[in-house]
Each structure stands twice: as structure tokens, then as C-alpha cells.
Amino acid sequence: MSERRHEIAFTVNGRRVEAVVPARMTLADLLRDRLRLTGTHVACGQGLCGSCNVLLGGRSARSCLTLAVQADGQEVTTIEGLGGDDGPSEVQAAFVRHRALQCGFCTPGFVVLAEELLAEVDAGLRPAPEQVRDRLAASVCRCTGYAPIVAAVQELVDERVARGTR
């Protein structure tokens, strides 16, 4: 028996997308294989490493565990939607400044986590340094070590907090 297919429509990086997808297709496969948004990386495919993080309705989500049908009606942001022709995003620039990447495979997942956290800081969250580290512990990096990643995000958190309290 063939797998059921569903019509879905959602926004990805500001662009409306319509697709017919198998019930069990993951959001990662839809983004990478159909929409060619290959900046979303898949490593473990089991929800463990965070390489596949995207923003789904403003919250980070493991796209390897998220079904494509769950994106229906939602707003999805991938690494391709952060930064662009005008240059890197604030988070991406901080990662470069702090040399917070080596091979870069994990970087899109960490950038998504940072964007989620900074949006919460803009909304009034004041995370302690241990909380910043805890949030970033949701992703795994196999080569750069975590100190520069934490330093890059902490710098941005401190800047946003200072801006918000001026």
C-alpha cells in the first residue's frame, strides 16, 4: 500500500512554499532534497546532535525529527535565511570574530540556537552564563571545542542586554 501524501503550505525564509509530501517525510528531507536548502545539515538523524536545527515558528526544532507536515501553516527559517547578500548576520559575524568554527558542519545548528536565544533576550530574558552554555549544549560540535562558540554567543547576549537596559 502506498504511503499517504499531504498537501502543505508554509513560509521558508520569507518565501511561500507549497508541496505534496509523504506522511513520514522529515522536514530536513523536504528542505534539503526538494527545496535545495542544504545549509541544514543532517548528521545523527536521531535528534541528538542539533546539526539540523531550524527555526519553526521562531523556536528551534530538530528538522530530522520534525515531520514535513508539521511545518504546514508555519514559518520556517533556515541558515540560508539568516544573513545573505548584504553580508553575514550578527550571529554569523560573531562566530567568525571568535573563530567559533572549524569544519563548519555544526555551525548552522548553533547559529539557529543563538538566534532563538537572542530573540528571547530581546523579549526580556536575562540568562546567566550557565544558562547560555546550557542552551548551546543542545548542539554538538566535534572539532572546534565549545569555548569560542559560547564566547561568541555570550558577547551578543551581553550586547543585547546592555542595549535593552540603556
Report CA Rg, the chain. 16
137's grid cell: 549544549
Interface residue with ligand FES, options 62, 98, 135, 160 (CB under 6 A): 62
Interface residue with ligand FES, options 54, 55, 118, 141 (CB under 6 A): 141
**Binding range to ligand FES, per CB under 6 A, among 38-46, 70-78, 89-97, 122-130:** 38-46
Q: Would you count residue 161 as binding ligand FES (CB under 6 A)?
A: no
- Torsion-angle region of residue 154: left (phi > 0), alpha (psi -120 to 50) or beta? alpha
| Interface mask toward ligand FES for 86-105; x: CB under 6 A | ---------------xxxxx
Q: Would you count residue 49 as binding ligand FES (CB under 6 A)?
A: yes
- Torsion-angle region of residue 25: left (phi > 0), alpha (psi -120 to 50) or beta? beta
List, in sequence order, every beta strand (DSSP E) within 40-115: 53-56, 59-62, 75-77
* Residues 107-136 contacting ligand FES, CB under 6 A: none
Q: Would you count residue 64 as binding ligand FES (CB under 6 A)?
A: yes
**Nearest distance from C-beta of residue 12 to ligand FES, angstroms:** 17
Q: Which run of H or E residues covers position 43? A: none
Q: Would you count residue 26 as binding ligand FES (CB under 6 A)?
A: no
DSSP 3-state of 15: strand
State which residue, 125 or 146, has the beta carbon closest to ligand FES. 146
Taken in order 64, 65, 67, 71, the sign of the CA dihedral is negative
End-to-end CA separation in angstroms for the chain: 62
Q: Would you count residue 83 as binding ligand FES (CB under 6 A)?
A: no
Residues forming the site for ligand FES (CB under 6 A): 42-45, 47-52, 62, 64, 101-106, 141-144
